[in-house]
Structure 1
Amino acid sequence: MSKTTRATQFLHRQKVQFTVHAYEYDPNADRIGMQAAEALGEDPARVLKTLMALVDGKPVCVVVPSDREVSMKKLAAMFGGKSAQMMKPVEAERTTGYVVGGISPFGQKKPVPTAIEQEALKHDLVYLNGGQRGLQVRLNPSDLVRLLDARTAALASD
């Protein structure tokens, strides 16, 4: 497995402190984010999943703890839209340039507006997909917000 991806290259170019963590990816896992947390032996609240969605038909990136689900109503409201829905896997891969299970918010083919669940900011360090299946990067969540010029709010379903 290569530990150099578009995501890690992006982080290096931005001179951000991060570490890379490989784990055994299970393509048959029911919840990929939870499987990553378990494989890393980390609290699921610190292992964030990257989701691609559409708000009024426009692509957005959503980052939430792996043990939470996104409220589409809250997501739409955050971006001033009327409706939100998850992007189809094929469309997410085309938009990001990554394969599902390996989508990182960093180094996407075309940058899109990003939303981050505010609960993620409570941790000193968080894990995110590093741009390929079985690869996570660990960094300070404030760097995540700054690098992606992300909006933060309560996005998880109640």
Structure 2
Amino acid sequence: MSFESVKKHLKQWNRDQDIMEFDTSSATVELAAEAIGVIPARIAKTLSFRGEGDNAILIVAAGDAKVDNKKFRHTFGFKARMLSPDEVFEQTGHEIGGVCPFGLKNDLAVYLDESMKRFTSLFPACGSTNSAIEVTLDELATYSSAKGWVDVCKNWQESINEEVPAVQAVNSK
């Protein structure tokens, strides 16, 4: 059902036919990168946090980025607390491993992390543990109705110089 809600959501932009489905799991950054044939940093992972009130907030970040608690608290004004798998499903309608900012069950605030800006395209999941779609940064912002860009992650800046040549090598194949 989750995959179908994402497909229906992406149909608005005639992108539903561009969803890739794999015979193997793409439920983790590493598995998704292997299934697609890209470096893990190009996987756009969607992280679910407790927001203020009843709704969660989603942060979409590069696959090699980790949430920085200080930056998160400074940006949002509250502590970063991830949702349990049951809460993720309840809020997004997607199971862990297929969570994406598309076709959501609830109207959630989506933010895009700066860690993704070093790439021209990324690969978020599409509501199942064996799917993804390649999108540009602008498409990701549009399709997710993102509220904006934030800088709440760490550990990706050190690898910028290493990652860019790898991306160029992947894109030139």
- TM, length-normalised to structure 1: 0.83
Q: Give the match for residue 98 of structure 2.
A: 102
Q: 1:115 to 1:72 in 2, by over 3 A?
A: farther
Q: Encode CA deviations 1:75-130: one digit per residue, 9 max, x unaligned.
A: 23323x22121111110111111111111210100121111111313322110011
> Percent of pairs identical after alignment?
23
Larger mean CA deviation between 55-64 and 35-44 belongs to 55-64
Question: Which secondary structure does the structure 2 equivalent of 1:126 belong to?
Answer: strand
Backbone CA RMSD of aligned residues:
2.3
CA shift, 1:11, in A, is 1.4
Does structure 2 retain, via aligned residues, the 8 Å contact 1:20–1:136? Answer: yes
CA shift, 1:26, in A, is 6.4
Greater helix percent: which structure? 2
Does structure 2 retain, via aligned residues, the 8 Å contact 1:56–1:83? Answer: no
Count the aligned residue pairs: 151
Bigger radius of gyration: 2
Do structure 1's residue 129 and structure 2's residue 128 form an aligned pair? Answer: no
Q: Give the match for residue 56 of structure 2.
A: 59
Q: Give the match for residue 152 of structure 1.
A: 149
Q: In the aligned structure 1, how far is the partner of 2:123 from the partner of 2:26? A: 17
Unaligned runs of 5+ residues in structure 2 are 156-173
Q: 1:157 to 1:128 in 2, by over 3 A?
A: same
Q: In the aligned structure 2, how far is the partner of 1:74 from the partner of 1:15? A: 36
Q: In the aligned structure 1, how far is the partner of 2:149 from the partner of 2:15? A: 20
Does structure 2 retain, via aligned residues, the 8 Å contact 1:55–1:83? Answer: no
Q: Encode CA deviations 1:11-30: one digit per residue, 9 max, x unaligned.
A: 11144587222231066xxx
Q: Letter of the aligned partner of 2:115 in structure 1?
A: E
Any runs of at least 4 consecutive aligned residues in structure 1 with deviations exceeding 3 A, and if so which? 14-18, 55-58
Q: In the aligned structure 2, how far is the partner of 1:18 from the partner of 1:46? A: 21
Do structure 1's residue 75 and structure 2's residue 72 form an aligned pair? Answer: yes
Q: Letter of the aligned partner of 2:51 in structure 1?
A: V
Q: In the aligned structure 1, how far is the partner of 2:32 from the partner of 2:74? A: 29
Question: Which secondary structure does the structure 1 equivalent of 2:66 belong to?
Answer: coil
Unaligned runs of 5+ residues in structure 1 are none
Q: In the aligned structure 2, how far is the partner of 1:122 from the partner of 1:48? A: 12
Do structure 1's residue 39 and structure 2's residue 38 form an aligned pair? Answer: no
Q: In the aligned structure 2, how far is the partner of 1:125 from the partner of 1:111? A: 25
- TM, length-normalised to structure 2: 0.76
